[in-house]
Structure 1
Amino acid sequence: MRIYDLFVNGRWIQPETAAWIENVNPATGEVFCRVPQAGPKEVEDALAGAYEARKSWGKTLAKEREKILLRAADYMEANAEKFLPDLIDESGSSYVKMSAEIGSCVDLLRTAAGECSRIGGGVIQGEYHNHLSYYVRNPLGVVVGIAPFNYPLFLAIDKVAFALAMGNTFILKPASYTPLSGLVIAECFEHAGLPHGVLSVLPGSGKTVGDALAMDPRVRMVALTGSSEVGRKLAQQAAGKLKRYSLELGGKNPMLILKDFDVDKAAELASFGGYFHQGQICMATSRIVVEAPVYEDFCQALAEKAAKVPVGDPHSPDTIVGPLIHEKQCMVLDELVSDAVGKGAKLLAGGKHEGAFYEPTLLADVTPDMKVFYEECFGPVISVVRAEDARQGLALCNDNEYGLSSSILTNDISLALELADEMEAGMVHINESTVVGSTRAPFGGVKMSGVGRENSSFSAEEYTEVKWITVQH
């Protein structure tokens, strides 16, 4: 049984109170390592250290911050094979998914390194003679990041890297299901030579760690990827202290398939978007709206693909669908499927599970009176909805409180662009899946899917504040 330390202010320590997270492998149900939980003392030590280090780190030259981020990227890339097995065991991610996630993290670190020297300002035309007017971007200070379990490495390092690049100090709270991912990030930055106090990683409960960090006046911003319920609570906490916050929340992402698009290609894109990583992706293609003339053919094509999706050992390179993060999520999916079938939906594939492994599931003839039409599944369940035409299809896509990612499949690009303008989502992908990522593009949603944007210069705007300066000569 491996036992880990906490990373507080750049040092590995054992917490004052002996409390542990039993890190369970969702594929086997067995505990494979123990990670200490941070308590009040570790939270206070991390806050004090980050607050003290914020001034010196904020004044560190951009080229020095860039070097550290590049060294962290190099270390992660060189040690990817070492990290891979444990990260698969922790999250239930397939070999393919986790390998790609580590590679994306390396790319992201290098993208963030490039942003260090791009932190911009500008000169404003003076109001008077001999009047200099300009603005600069400064780091916020102490930033807190709260990461989810589904892409635990990428969605944590996405916050850490850009916040550090902008000159902020950072405290990371990884998800309780996946604490080890946060310690991997700490190891990379330790070997990169990050100064003490600039980064701490605090696994632990939301009440002891998350709430304490969000409410502390020394923290200037909280960045969360998580559920809309948690996001609403955090926004209220932050607003009460006039803190800045960034929220990347849930999604019930629609794919609109029009009658002129190839049915087999549509089924291929839908299968990837809905079943990859067991559907545990905020951008998962969980609602598919299909124009009537190709509806039946599409349902048949997707049902055939769903039946062939490889399910099994996440360590196997052939596996696409591994275990859900916890067996109890299967009960949630069972209830949604049962409700839909009871109200007239057709179960064309799946609908069963063994342990935490849920079969790729396809529901046809889904209507808005069914829970699965509106509720986020966070599992390998795809719902198909019939639309009489493109306009009704768009209305069905927009009929949801979420607005993260979306997809439009059609050969009529003019119509696609018109529909994209009216799609109520933070991201619209034409002739692609809803699951599309880039370390350089603005990532985020509208409505109940969140507030703010991540990646590249868009993160720079989130993690800095503008100061206006004038000089009268």
Structure 2
Amino acid sequence: MSQQDQPWSRAIYTAGTFQPPAGGGVLPVRDKSTGEVFAEAGRADASDVDAAVTRAVPAQRDWAALGYAERAAVLRRVAAALERDGAMRELIVRETGSIPGKADYEIGAAISELTEAAALASRPSGEVLQTGHAGRTSISERLPVGLVGVITPWNFPLVLGMRVIAPALALGNVVLLKPSPETPLSGGLAIARLFVEAGAPAGIFQVLPGGEDVGRRLVEHPDIQMVHFTGSTAVGRQIAQTAGGLLKKVSLELGGNNALVVLDDADIEQATMIGAWSSFHYQGQTCISAGRHIVDRAVVDEYTAGIVARAAAITLGDPATEPVGLGPVINDAQLARGKRLLDDAVAGGARVLTGGTVEGPFFRPTVVVDVDPASALWTEEIFAPIVAIVAVDGTEEAVALANDTRYGLVSSVLGADVHRATTVARRLNSAMVHVNDATPQDEALAPFGGVGQSGLGGRSGGDANLEEFTERRWLTVSSVPAHYPY
């Protein structure tokens, strides 16, 4: 079946069915390597959001009233449908420009999110508290937040969506999803197909592809109790301002300016492999990529030579048709931004040792030295396959430079003395730190999120989801009516 013959063609997903959006808008879906429009999604508008919310309110009451076993069973059936799915891999490759291995990772991680969320549904939903009142039972219980609006990015559309969708549903919420316009299929409508196959109740999960007007209405709608956004810090700041004015619960997973610290005793062969993967995987287009490589001066020459060799060996091309190491950058705007950051750094004295060129939609893996720590290439999130290296003298200078950022998402420390490396890691102002491993790490059971300008709100993953997607209520029950003086 061609993409144009799929049930999602020119459609949104609402009330348990694929149907045309109210305004009849169309969102073209492009192959990021060739530019070909290979499918069309429906383009929702604000009126579609309003209609979806109207359907979601009663659906949420019924869904939350189900026993945990029924909710868990739906999620397990969605996981099984994804395991059987034969089209998701190609969709991810074509929509995101990723190599097939990255698509396989996303599918496996999304299945893990679903199965772990299914187990979350049966977790205790409250606790009995001590009380100073005789004859009173005091309980802290967890209730679903209600309607959760979810806005997801284009880089890991399947797993970053499922990281929120699955636990939110497990805990009795319903989800209204706005995927990125770059990835409306693998980030939304293809997920909806899994819910159809799983026989999920109508209205618990709805997909509204569209532009800024859809995202804005999700944030502003009075009946949506929570907004979860994954994306840039600039957009996250706007969402926080709007949601704050509405006193609405918000969770933001934002950008990173992540450091990889190489100590003087690091195994340089291993370090360059970890460093290359941290910066170049998926064209550097993840919030947990390492942009800043902070290397002890004693080993910086050897490390730099190793990174240059690895970068030069990476192949570029269309991952849908060729066995390449890297695919295209997501769009022209992102390509131009990465090149601008690089060119500005070079104008400020940085030297490009390899790469630095753009060939169509492809950005050659790049290694830069003599980078000014005040340059935007060093201080901002890059989202391009660029390694920027700065040498330091000892751990004190390394820690100070790593912490000299407004962001606080993830860092890595590489060193042979694990105790020493861990001591350095604990001094870094990041919400996630890895010793002797790459910065890109994510597990369904681990708390994922950032501090500073890398995030606002709670964490996703494991027990953190209980806090993220529920509200606490204090309930007291007295065996006899209380007595008061009037």
Task: Tell whether the structures are fold-level matches, with TM greater than 0.5.
Answer: yes
Deviation beyond 3 Å, 4+ runs, structure 1: none
Pick aligned residue for 2:295 from 268, 277, 290: 290
Structure 1 letter corresponding to 2:390: V
Are the aligned partners of 2:410 and 2:432 in contact in 1 as well (CA < 8 Å)? Answer: yes
The residue aligned with 2:43 is 37
Q: Is residue 2:65 matched to residue 1:65?
A: no
Which secondary structure state, in structure 2, belongs to the residue aligned with residue 390 of structure 1?
A: helix
Are the aligned partners of 2:266 and 2:415 in contact in 1 as well (CA < 8 Å)? Answer: yes
The residue aligned with 1:17 is 23
Q: Is residue 2:120 matched to residue 1:115?
A: yes
Structure 1 letter corresponding to 2:80: D
Structure 1 letter corresponding to 2:413: I
Which secondary structure state, in structure 2, belongs to the residue aligned with residue 122 of structure 1?
A: strand
Deviates most, 81-90 or 178-187: 81-90
Structure 2 letter corresponding to 1:303: V
Structure 1 letter corresponding to 2:27: I
Pick aligned residue for 1:405 from 410, 427, 449: 410
Which secondary structure state, in structure 2, belongs to the residue aligned with residue 218 of structure 1?
A: coil
Alpha-carbon distance between aligned partners in 2 of 1:461 and 1:269, rounded to the nearest angstrom: 33
State how 1:213-224 maps to structure 2 within 5 Å.
213-224=218-229
Unaligned regions of 5+ residues in structure 1, if any? none
Alpha-carbon distance between aligned partners in 1 of 2:193 and 2:250, rounded to the nearest angstrom: 27
- Give how far 1:196 is off: 1.0
Are the aligned partners of 1:94 and 1:317 in contact in 2 as well (CA < 8 Å)? Answer: no
- Give how far 1:415 is off: 2.2
Unaligned regions of 5+ residues in structure 2, if any? 480-486
- Give how far 1:119 is off: 4.1
- Give how far 1:418 is off: 2.2
State how 1:381-420 maps to structure 2 within 5 Å.
381-420=386-425
Which secondary structure state, in structure 1, belongs to the residue aligned with residue 157 of structure 2?
A: coil
Which secondary structure state, in structure 2, belongs to the residue aligned with residue 117 of structure 1?
A: coil
- Give how far 1:423 is off: 0.6
Aligned length: 471
CA distance change for structure 1 residues 59 and 317 in 2, over 3 Å: closer, same or farther?
farther
Q: Calculate percent identity across the aligned residue pairs.
A: 37
Are the aligned partners of 2:10 and 2:43 in contact in 1 as well (CA < 8 Å)? Answer: no
The residue aligned with 2:482 is none
Structure 2 letter corresponding to 1:164: L
The residue aligned with 2:484 is none
Pick aligned residue for 1:150 from 144, 148, 155: 155
CA deviation map 1:354-375 (0-9, x unaligned): 1110000111122212220101
Q: What's the TM-score, normalizing by structure 2?
A: 0.95
Pick aligned residue for 1:105 from 110, 125, 131: 110
Are the aligned partners of 2:411 and 2:434 in contact in 1 as well (CA < 8 Å)? Answer: yes
State how 1:15-414 maps to structure 2 within 5 Å.
15-79=21-85, 81-181=86-186, 182-206=188-212, 208-315=213-320, 318-414=323-419
CA deviation map 1:101-158 (0-9, x unaligned): 1111111110111100014311111212222111111101100000000001110111
CA deviation map 1:145-197 (0-9, x unaligned): 00000001110111111110110011000001111120111111111121111
Are the aligned partners of 1:337 and 1:351 in contact in 2 as well (CA < 8 Å)? Answer: yes
Deviates most, 335-344 or 410-419: 410-419
- Give how far 1:88 is off: 1.2
Alpha-carbon distance between aligned partners in 2 of 1:48 and 1:385, rounded to the nearest angstrom: 54
Q: What's the TM-score, normalizing by structure 1?
A: 0.97
- Give how far 1:25 is off: 1.2
Are the aligned partners of 1:214 and 1:237 in contact in 2 as well (CA < 8 Å)? Answer: yes
Alpha-carbon distance between aligned partners in 1 of 2:247 and 2:339, rounded to the nearest angstrom: 41
CA deviation map 1:452-471 (0-9, x unaligned): 21012211211000111112
Alpha-carbon distance between aligned partners in 2 of 1:158 and 1:419, rounded to the nearest angstrom: 30
CA deviation map 1:217-238 (0-9, x unaligned): 1011000000001100111111
Alpha-carbon distance between aligned partners in 2 of 1:328 and 1:231, rounded to the nearest angstrom: 19
Structure 2 letter corresponding to 1:77: E
Alpha-carbon distance between aligned partners in 1 of 2:133 and 2:31, rounded to the nearest angstrom: 67
Are the aligned partners of 1:119 and 1:460 in contact in 2 as well (CA < 8 Å)? Answer: no
Are the aligned partners of 1:95 and 1:316 in contact in 2 as well (CA < 8 Å)? Answer: no
